[in-house]
Structure 1
């Protein structure tokens, strides 16, 4: 697979399109987002999802790839595309350009840039809280990678490969696996990485996922001090010598928080066997600190009136992300108005899920708000229907009943021969509404309003207000006969 260069007519009036992939899904603009030792990122657009993306080009240095090399590359790419974790930047697609030997990766776009740039731009932050929050997110991404079978190793983790959404503080690991792709495409003696963040065993090419823990320690060091590790040294050779001998970077002297300093020292231990795993680090009290405002903000309660019921609200509670897999916990339940209370339901959940008092109170408040909102909407809908029924007192109704709870009727306003109301009752309304809507589209009319209510027998009743197109003559009976096959099927 390869992309095509822009052609006449591709500029869309601004002359920004530089390349389009062969599937015609992704567009690359000539706006660069940044570059690294082996990668250049451009802003792009996903026409299928309708979102901006990052189009990354990785230089494989033109090396001729054997069939085995190509198969390995495809496997690596498949792994990258299969990763699904909220702390790892999503890869939507990837391919190798046969003409240029470049690997192209389509990933999600983070407009606030790298964590390094963001940290240097905002130097007035509370270091302890920020390092805890960012570090915890990074560790959750690493834990996900390292618990795969086999473990996935980043090998070039640094602040430049971690991106942040400045509006939400969301942090994600990027460029996962790209270092491995590049290194494996070159000579065996070539080592890809950033010396200041490379564990000593990486130079020996005998290592495991704990090289990422070493790099994480250096990331924490830079975030805490705003200093690049080993910035007192002048060149990579000196850094290699210092790392190989176990010498610690001078920036450690600038870490003011003793707890943060202890974590960094544990991560960059010269003996990889003594480094903690990502899961072990997440269990430390420092990373157990909870940003209460953030946690409570992430609690969401959605709901709607349960189908066929007048006093039962179906609710869905979304709890914050927890655990190394970063998955959200969803709890669905029915709330019986008049029998249940928000406080009692929240108390039961708190006991069952082990929630803290702040989370319990937040859930109680949001359940109460959601239930009241749903019931208020129901009341407003009922009041609106009553007003409409009074204003449409003079109606001609042509009902068709099928059984006790199923039927369709068309109502014509006597004072307006062009407007009608269509009412449908059906216990199984989901599939029926789909077919009914399609059937309405076959008629020369437009739907001006739609609403739902519940009959005395508890069956949902849908109503559609429609208006005939100009020059069309249809009676209520005509519309009735057109819709009967749908309701009777």
Structure 2
């Protein structure tokens, strides 16, 4: 398996260039769209927008995302500056494809909105919706008491699946779903998600097979490593890894190097008995298991995941009230009439029949759902605190990416 990965990585740039240089009239044949409706503005970008100094939102090998403000409205946006030539190749068509996918996804509130497109001599600029909450990655790697709560993960995962479901219904595969490409509309309170970065996305259909080596090592599906056909199921593998990371803060397949990571993925080297899963809802684990399956055809679809038990709304905590009655009755005042078994607690008019003193003791029992975190902070072992041993937080994910075009937006 490892030699195959090495061989695949050697053909990576050749494969990408082949698709990027396909004949424009038949772009969809290789998974790229070539037609856009958004007008391309050739005026200087800075004539209309002010770039906020020091507000760099993200950076990739061939793009940088900066916060900017539209001069005429004062509204904030994220401007994605993308180089048109990459490693000596003209990649303008790749940018046009990304614009076209964003246009297609405008009907989904779970995908970042595209507002304008600018083109200069050496780069193009996509003016995108500004997501003030930043990447969910920041909270995925936070200390457990500051990380997402179980209910937060369920809500955000539902929204992610809604966006992915929309894309898949329109035959779009994202191919780079990871915490850095899921943004939040706000941080406090926790906002809604926006899926970003469609630089690696492709169109798929049943009549044509699409094979490419692309993605982020920790999140790629086995079929990517084996150079087998890509499908919507490829995204669903990434969703399974994403769910694991959001719930535990740990990247399940990450090895000491890329080769070990690829080996872990190809062998499905994952344990569901780890300590970090001890407090995770059992339904969430079955959700992950339904996705981290080697055979793509056996993975759950986005629509099926939305119906999974883990993501269904939970009933409010049931309040069971038990009423105990203590009666103080004088022996001389007792009657021979037995108490009705159907009325353990008598109504007010029955109280008037005798000097009966009733003391009501109300005991409330609450049925609580499982919680991953306790309010009094469980005692954590050194191994639990040092979860970065397997999830190399100190290394930016971009350092692990070998494919051109991975950006924050």
TM bracket, shorter-chain basis: 0.5 to 0.7
Structure 2 SS opposite 1:83: helix
CA distance in 2, matches of 1:277, 1:71: 30
Q: Does 1:284 align with 2:308?
A: yes
**Could you tell me which residue of structure 2 aligns to residue 198 of structure 1?**
220
**Could you tell me which residue of structure 2 aligns to residue 478 of structure 1?**
none
Structure 2 SS opposite 1:111: coil
Q: Does 1:63 align with 2:88?
A: yes
What's the offset of the Cα at 1:3? 7.2
Structure 2 SS opposite 1:54: strand
1:230–1:251 CA contact under 8 A, matched in 2: no
Q: Among residues 180, 202, 212, which one is paired with 2:235 in the alignment? A: 212
CA distance in 1, matches of 2:274, 2:42: 47
Q: Deviations over 1:182-211 (max 9, x none)?
A: xxxxxx998332110010112315111111
**Could you tell me which residue of structure 2 aligns to residue 51 of structure 1?**
75
Q: 1:27 to 1:82 in 2, by over 3 A?
A: farther
**Could you tell me which residue of structure 2 aligns to residue 235 of structure 1?**
257
1:55–1:105 CA contact under 8 A, matched in 2: yes
Greater RCO structure (CA 8 Å; 6+ sep)? 2
What's the offset of the Cα at 1:48? 4.8
What's the offset of the Cα at 1:249? 6.1
Q: After superposition, where does 1:44-443 map in structure 2 within 5 Å? A: 44-59=68-83, 60-65=85-90, 70=92, 73-84=95-106, 85-99=108-122, 102-121=123-142, 123-124=144-145, 127-148=149-170, 151-164=171-184, 165-180=186-201, 191-203=213-225, 204=227, 206-231=229-254, 233-248=255-270, 254-256=276-278, 257-289=281-313
CA distance in 1, matches of 2:82, 2:311: 35
- Paired residues in the alignment total 263
Q: 1:189 to 1:283 in 2, by over 3 A?
A: closer
**Could you tell me which residue of structure 2 aligns to residue 29 of structure 1?**
52
Larger radius of gyration: 1
Q: 1:290 to 1:144 in 2, by over 3 A?
A: farther
What's the offset of the Cα at 1:73? 4.4
What's the offset of the Cα at 1:122? 6.6
Which structure has the highest strand share of the two? Answer: 1
Q: 1:190 to 1:284 in 2, by over 3 A?
A: closer
User: Unpaired segments of 5 or more residues in structure 2?
Assistant: 1-39, 203-209, 317-409
User: Unpaired segments of 5 or more residues in structure 1?
Assistant: 5-19, 182-187, 293-489
Q: 1:109 to 1:178 in 2, by over 3 A?
A: same
What's the offset of the Cα at 1:214? 0.8
CA distance in 2, matches of 1:251, 1:48: 56
1:230–1:249 CA contact under 8 A, matched in 2: no
Q: 1:78 to 1:291 in 2, by over 3 A?
A: farther
2:178–2:238 CA contact under 8 A, matched in 1: yes
CA distance in 2, matches of 1:47, 1:252: 52
